[in-house]
Amino acid sequence: MSVAVHLLAGAITMGFAVATLFFFRFWRQSRDRLFLLFSAAFLLLGVDRVVASTTSVGDAVYLLRLLAFVLIVAAVLDKNRR
């Protein structure tokens, strides 16, 4: 992989880390499950990006991505149910 691809993967991972900390901070203030689940989802997306860019695992990274999106949908449904 070229340097530009690694740089872009690092920037995307950093964005996921910032989003994780952003939602975690709001969860600590409000104790709302929506923010905790969003934080967990973005953490999984960041881990997915690190694993995908450093190894050649293949389809296993898609399971992490799927779990992250399921967490986001579950968070939104849970928030609207209450």
49 within 8 A of 13, measured Cβ to Cβ: yes
Domain that holds residue 67: 3-81
pLDDT (0 to 100) of residue 19: 98
Overall domain count for the chain: 1
Q: Each residue's pLDDT tens digit in the chain (82 positions)?
A: 688 888 998 999 999 999 999 999 999 999 999 999 999 999 999 999 998 888 887 777 889 999 999 999 999 999 999 7
40 within 8 A of 74, measured Cβ to Cβ: no
pLDDT (0 to 100) of residue 32: 95
* CA dihedral of residues 31, 50, 61, 33 (deg, nearest 10): 0
pTM: 0.90
pLDDT (0 to 100) of residue 1: 65
